[in-house]
Every structure is written in structure tokens, then in C-alpha cells.
């Protein structure tokens, strides 16, 4: 059977993974807090979250390198909570690579195959190395490789085992953009070819959104929201998701009434509208959000039905980013609003008076909460900066 722990041979297909109320507490600190999730067999699942939110700990629990304080872990419907790491049909690409320094690259990659007594381990290891374009370095030691090359070896060493469930802890973090794109395609190909289940931890939102069937955003040991990438992006459920995944303009206010299926929200300096179906709250305090690329910039006050108009405000900053330009517009009382505009040749200058508008259907409503600690974002900012 494909999914039996330490089973002989390769997994014929992926296995689904189920975490049931899993908690992991270290002395004085809960790294994973009552986490429940199901990843269907053969799917590509991405776990996104700021540094220290418990992503690696979650993977270690699944791999069997850490014991949960509470909860159950099931792979392919089988409870593996109490089995040892080497008995689990799971392989990990470690965040720190963890290549064996005393073995050659080839021996590293063949290690798992040899332990399971799979036929022709060296041939398969060579193939896996060819996949990550490193076969010519098979006889080197890990110290003689660059960081990105080591990372690809770590990838090959895990992938070569064709596990029912592959855990990837930021496996492409050290690669340049071109190589990263290429590896993303390879990974996706391996995943869909055999139908393996991938659980991919990444800092790179774009990577998560382009590769994954399902994205989960994690914060402080909990999953904030989970769903298809577009769903998560278009309709975030919390302030954290709205700001962590892409950017959002957020306005805190109060629901003052309804107009049909639209909530009327009073915020300092404006009255906003948001569809009740797109709001997590229907009364009281609310945060209204809209993505910067949904905004349009106008030199005259626009008159258009179904659109939210704010202004006038003043452009205080523009930055050109190739396909689009980012404007920061300050509107009295509302504050600074970020706008992404397609570059169609007409660039608004700093200091010009402008109005902003967006389709009411693009706004979303969130429960109000304190803006989350900016320092939490620092690594994400770093990660996006290097992209």
C-alpha cells in the first residue's frame, strides 16, 4: 500500500493530511495554538505567515520531529501522532537545508532511498539531481556548494523519495528570481505528475498565490484564514490577512445604517458603503478596506453610480514601478491612501488635487482591531524587498 508508514517503494499518490486541534507549547510559549486543518490528497497547500508565527513548528509536528502537546495528526486517514519520524511517509525540505556534511551530494540524495532499500538508489539520485540541474556536482561535498545550490540539493534529497506528503520549509528562499521561477515550475510538475500532497511554507506571497490550490495565512500560532488564493485576496476576513497578503487601504468607522444590501459606514471625513455580503460585521465598529489597484484617480470630481468617491485630496508621493505607478494621496481626515494605477502615459504629478473612486463591490468589511505590530511584518517586508 502506498501510504503505509515507511512503506517500501514510492507513494503511488498523495495522502491527505489532517490536523485536529493540534497544540504545541514550549515552556512559557505556545507556538501552535489549537490548529485544525485538512489538506486533501494531491493538493498544493501554501502556509504563509510572518516570522515566528509557528510555520516551522507546524511542519516539525507533522514530520514527527516534535511531539504535539495536544491534538492528533492523520496522514491518509491514519493516526500517526504516536509514530516516529522515520516511520512516517513524509519528507521535509529543511529551512536550513541540513545537508550531511560528511557525504557527497549524491550520497546525500540517495540517503533516504538506501534506508528504504529502494532499487537503484544512485540512478534515481542522479535523476533527482538532474532535475535541479546539479548532476555535474554530484561528487562534491555540501560545503563546496553555494547557498542556492545547497537549497536545491535539499529539495532533491526530499523529492527523490516521492513521499505521500512533502513538507517544504521555504525551499526556494535562497534562489534568484529566474531560478526560483524555474524551480516553482519543476515543483509544480512533480507535484501534479505523481499527485503528491505538498505543504509549502513560504514568505513569498506571489509564490504562494501562483502555486497553491489553497493558501492559509497563519498568525501567532493560529490560522487566520484559509482558501483559494483569489478568494483570500479579494475577500480577506481579518485586518491581518488584508495587510499581510498584499496591501490594503483601511478605514475604521461605525455602521450607521443600511441601504438595501449595502452597509453605510461613517468614518472620519467620509461616508463609505460596503456590501453586506462582503463584510464580516453588520453593525457597530467596522473597518472598511479596499485594495490599492481597485482605486481610480481623477482630476475632477467624478460622477458615477455604484462608485464610492472620496476627496479631494492631494498627491504627496508617486513611485514608478514599470507596469504601474504607486501614488500616495492624502485626504483630509481620511489619511493617506495608496493607489496603484496602470501606466497609460498620464502620470499625475505630486501636489495635484485629485479625487479617488472605487466600485462599491470591491470594498470589504472587517471586524475592527488594533493594527497589528509592524515589527511582525519586518521579515515579510524583507522578503518582498528582495523579490
Partner 1 sequence: MKLGKWLLPTYAILALVYLLVPIVYTIAFSFNDSQRTNIIWNGFTWNNWLTVCEAQGVCEAFGNSIFIASISTLVATVLGTAISIALVRYRFKFRSAMTLLLFMPMATPEVVLGAGLASQFLAAGMPKGITTVILAHIMFCISFVVVTVRARVASLDPKLEEAGRDLYGSPSQVWWRITFPLLLPGIVAAALLSFALSFDDFIITNFNRGAVDTFPSYVYTAAARGIPAEANVIASGVFLLAIAMVLVAQIGGAIRRKKLGITT
Ligand X SMILES: Nc1ncnc2c1ncn2[C@@H]1O[C@H](COP(=O)(O)OP(=O)(O)OP(=O)(O)O)[C@@H](O)[C@H]1O
Give residues in contact with partner 1 (CB under 8 A): 6, 63-65, 84-86, 90-92, 94, 96, 98-102, 111-112, 115-116, 139-141, 144, 157-158, 161
Among positions 80-119, residues that touch Mg ion (CB under 5 A) are 95
In whole angstroms, the minimum distance from the beta carbon of 155 to ligand X comes to 17
Site string for Mg ion, 12-51 (x = CB under 5 A): ----------------------------------------
14 touches, from ligand X, Mg ion, partner 1, none (C-beta below 5 to 8 Å by class): none
351 touches, from partner 1, ligand X, Mg ion, none (C-beta below 5 to 8 Å by class): none
In whole angstroms, the minimum distance from the beta carbon of 137 to partner 1 comes to 9
Does residue 151 belong to the site contacting Mg ion (CB under 5 A)?
no
In sequence order, which ranges of 64-204 are alpha helices (DSSP H)?
105-115, 121-131, 147-159, 177-194
Does residue 57 belong to the site contacting Mg ion (CB under 5 A)?
no
144 touches, from partner 1, Mg ion, ligand X, none (C-beta below 5 to 8 Å by class): partner 1
Beta carbons of 164 and 76 less than 8 angstroms apart:
yes
3-state secondary structure 39-58: ECCCCEEEEECCCCCCHHHH
53 touches, from Mg ion, partner 1, ligand X, none (C-beta below 5 to 8 Å by class): ligand X
CA angle 179, 292, 50 (to 5 degrees): 55
In whole angstroms, the minimum distance from the beta carbon of 94 to ligand X comes to 11
| Rounded alpha-carbon distances, angstroms, from residue 362 to 45, 94, 107, 290, 307 | 26, 39, 54, 6, 10
Alpha-carbon span 146 to 157, nearest angstrom? 16
- Pick between residue 51 and residue 280 the one whose CB is nearest to ligand X: 51
In whole angstroms, the minimum distance from the beta carbon of 387 to partner 1 comes to 27
In whole angstroms, the minimum distance from the beta carbon of 349 to partner 1 comes to 54
- Pick between residue 76 and residue 229 the one whose CB is nearest to partner 1: 76
- Pick between residue 116 and residue 222 the one whose CB is nearest to partner 1: 116
Q: Which residue is nearest to Mg ion (CB)?
A: 56
- Pick between residue 128 and residue 265 the one whose CB is nearest to partner 1: 128
Beta carbons of 134 and 150 less than 8 angstroms apart:
no
In whole angstroms, the minimum distance from the beta carbon of 30 to ligand X comes to 8
User: Pick from 3, 22, 54, 56: which binds Mg ion (CB under 5 A)?
Assistant: 56
Classify 300 as helix, strand or coil.
coil
Cell numbers given for 293: 489597484
- Pick between residue 92 and residue 325 the one whose CB is nearest to Mg ion: 92
Alpha-carbon span 99 to 105, nearest angstrom? 8
In whole angstroms, the minimum distance from the beta carbon of 150 to Mg ion comes to 17
Alpha-carbon span 242 to 238, nearest angstrom? 6
3-state secondary structure 167-204: EEECCCCCCCHHHHHHHHHHHHHHHHHHCCEEEEEECC
- Pick between residue 53 and residue 105 the one whose CB is nearest to Mg ion: 53
Beta carbons of 326 and 338 less than 8 angstroms apart:
yes
Alpha-carbon span 327 to 141, nearest angstrom? 50
Q: Which long-range contacts (CB under 8 A, 24 or more apart) does 323-327 make?
A: 324/293, 326/292, 327/297
- Pick between residue 50 and residue 121 the one whose CB is nearest to ligand X: 50
In whole angstroms, the minimum distance from the beta carbon of 153 to partner 1 comes to 12
102 touches, from ligand X, partner 1, Mg ion, none (C-beta below 5 to 8 Å by class): partner 1
Cell numbers given for 297: 484617480
- Pick between residue 54 and residue 163 the one whose CB is nearest to ligand X: 54
Q: How many residues bind Mg ion (CB under 5 A)?
A: 2
DSSP summary character for residue 163: -
Amino acid at each position: 500500500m502506498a501510504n503505509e508508514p515507511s512503506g517500501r517503494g514510492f507513494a503511488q499518490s498523495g495522502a491527505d493530511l489532517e490536523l485536529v486541534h493540534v497544540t504545541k507549547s514550549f515552556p512559557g510559549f505556545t507556538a501552535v495554538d489549537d490548529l485544525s486543518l485538512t489538506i486533501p490528497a494531491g493538493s498544493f497547500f501554501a502556509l504563509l505567515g510572518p516570522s515566528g508565527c509557528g510555520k516551522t513548528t507546524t511542519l516539525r509536528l507533522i514530520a514527527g520531529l516534535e511531539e504535539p502537546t495536544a491534538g492528533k495528526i492523520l496522514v491518509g486517514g491514519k493516526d500517526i501522532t504516536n509514530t516516529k519520524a522515520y516511520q512516517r511517509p513524509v519528507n521535509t525540505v529543511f529551512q536550513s537545508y541540513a545537508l550531511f556534511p560528511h557525504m557527497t551530494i549524491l550520497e546525500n540524495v540517495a540517503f533516504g532511498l538506501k534506508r528504504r532499500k529502494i532499487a537503484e538508489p544512485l540512478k534515481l539520485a542522479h535523476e533527482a539531481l538532474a532535475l535541479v540541474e546539479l548532476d555535474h556536482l554530484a561528487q562534491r561535498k555540501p560545503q563546496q556548494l553555494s547557498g542556492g545550490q545547497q537549497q536545491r540539493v535539499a529539495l532533491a534529497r526530499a523529492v527523490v523519495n516521492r513521499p505521500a506528503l512533502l513538507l517544504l520549509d521555504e525551499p526556494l528562499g535562497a534562489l534568484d528570481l529566474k531560478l526560483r521561477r524555474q524551480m516553482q515550475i519543476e515543483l509544480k510538475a512533480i507535484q501534479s505528475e505523481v499527485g503528491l500532497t505538498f505543504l509549502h511554507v513560504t514568505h513569498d506571497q506571489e509564490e504562494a498565490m501562483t502555486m497553491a490550490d489553497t493558501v492559509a495565512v497563519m498568525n501567532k500560532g493560529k490560522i487566520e484564514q484559509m482558501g483559494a488564493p483569489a478568494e483570500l485576496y479579494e475577500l480577506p476576513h481579518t485586518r491581518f490577512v488584508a495587510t499581510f497578503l498584499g496591501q490594503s487601504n483601511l478605514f475604521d468607522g461605525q455602521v450607521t445604517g443600511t441601504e438595501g444590501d449595502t452597509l453605510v459606514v461613517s468614518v472620519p471625513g467620509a461616508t463609505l458603503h460596503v456590501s453586506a455580503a462582503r463584510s464580516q460585521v453588520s453593525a457597530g465598529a467596522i473597518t472598511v478596506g479596499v485594495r490599492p489597484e481597485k482605486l481610480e484617480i481623477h482630476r475632477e470630481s467624478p460622477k458615477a453610480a455604484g462608485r464610492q468617491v472620496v476627496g479631494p485630496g492631494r498627491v504627496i508621493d508617486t513611485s514608478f514601478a514599470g507596469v504601474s505607478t504607486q501614488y500616495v494621496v492624502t485626504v483630509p481626515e481620511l489619511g493617506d491612501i495608496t493607489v496603484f494605477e496602470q501606466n497609460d502615459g498620464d502620470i499625475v504629478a505630486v501636489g495635484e488635487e485629485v479625487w479617488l473612486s472605487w466600485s462599491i463591490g470591491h470594498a470589504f468589511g472587517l471586524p475592527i482591531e488594533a493594527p497589528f505590530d509592524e515589527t511582525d511584518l519586518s521579515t515579510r517586508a524583507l522578503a518582498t524587498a528582495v523579490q
